Structure 1
């Protein structure tokens, strides 16, 4: 290999290293008719999060987030437009990329006499909170998503 070809190969390798390699997740900021937000508590570590998860292979993004929300909460929500994205490295230095959607819980579910949420085994608890209180229990990234969804909701 010539010296020029080696430099080109090294430059290409460096350029490839600069691209994000990440697990992609999608989550919903679920608004009730009373402007409360649903957060769920993970069974694994007790942390609070917005409902959602990973896309299936070749799955359409809004379909995937809807599926995940139904699986985790039992709620058939209206998935709105994306309101926030974030990328970061987790505690074991793996890349993460998340898309957050503004979602609306149908009023018919929201006014039921009993709580319509039916949790999967992934979560051990849930609560409906005002946006600011929900954001206080979430990670910084998810708190930013709540703020972004609230701007769209109020706007």
Structure 2
């Protein structure tokens, strides 16, 4: 019997600095600008996972808050839980996964991020969520 395909679950941390800027990384693997995040460990609470991923990728320690939404990459079967976070300490710096990490304006996010990632930032600015959105890795579908 063929094995049933499985979804992968990841977390995305949307972190604002209180001055209208959002934490973003330029990924090492594909050069895209995105909010930090990554694959959730099998037995990991999503809140713990987002704290771990944001810290690993940026050096910023965060406190998780509300669920912004659920975002599914349809071709890859990756489901990402976007969680709004509050920065507690640390300054953004590059890591193994991020060639650049820093605070960027919403306008810079609009210019740099693919729609599928930008929408998580824009959804965090709204109060009518959480949202459920599907994308192809770059654009909403």
1:79 is displaced (CA, Å) by 1.1
Displaced runs of 4+ in structure 1, greater than 3 A? none
Q: How does 1:9-24 map to 2 (within 5 A)?
A: 21-24=6-9
Alignment correspondent of 1:151: 126
Given the two structures, how large is their TM-score scaled by the length of structure 2? 0.78
Residues 136 and 143, structure 1, Cα contact 8 Å, conserved in 2: no
- The structure number with the bigger radius of gyration is 1
Residue number among 92, 100, 111 corresponding to 2:82 in the alignment = 100
1:136 is displaced (CA, Å) by 2.9
Residues 93 and 102, structure 2, Cα contact 8 Å, conserved in 1: no
More helix by share: 1
Alignment correspondent of 1:43: 28
More strand by share: 2
Residues 83 and 102, structure 1, Cα contact 8 Å, conserved in 2: yes
- Give the CA RMSD over aligned residues: 1.9
Tell me the secondary structure at the aligned position of residue 151 of structure 1.
coil
Structure 2 gaps of 5+ residues are 128-141
Given the two structures, how large is their TM-score scaled by the length of structure 1? 0.72
Tell me the secondary structure at the aligned position of residue 105 of structure 1.
strand
**How many aligned residue pairs are there?**
124
1:36 is displaced (CA, Å) by 0.5
Residue number among 73, 77, 83 corresponding to 2:58 in the alignment = 73
